[in-house]
Amino acid sequence: MTDLRPTASIDTQLSQARAVIERHLAPRLLAVHLFGSALDGGLKPYSDIDLLVFMRFARTTISGLPGMSKT
């Protein structure tokens, strides 16, 4: 089984990114997920860190799919 924990080298960056996300998106923030090369051991110098952010929105906030606007 693959170890899906981030490497120690990015722990500080993850903590900082999470703090910024929480500061700007709370209380709508539901979850922040790490994915990509940070988990599978493929990080290289200057690699980015992939984060997927889930947020809570009222159904009335989203009016349609991107590109479907009549304006």
Q: What is the pLDDT of residues 55-70, one digit of tens each?
A: 987 666 556 666 666 6
> Which ranges in 1-71 belong to alpha helices (H)?
11-25, 37-40
What share of the chain in percent tops pLDDT 70?
68
Question: How many domains, in total, are found in the chain?
Answer: 1
Range of the domain at 44: 10-57
- Cβ atoms of 54 and 34 within 8 Å: the answer is no
Predicted confidence band of residue 6 (pLDDT cuts 50, 70, 90)? low
Is residue 52 in some structural domain? yes
Phi-psi category of 65—alpha, beta or left, where left has phi over 0 and alpha has psi -120 to 50? beta
Phi-psi category of 50—alpha, beta or left, where left has phi over 0 and alpha has psi -120 to 50? beta
Is residue 66 in some structural domain? no
pTM above threshold 0.85: no
Is residue 65 in some structural domain? no
Residue 37 has pLDDT above 70, yes or no: yes
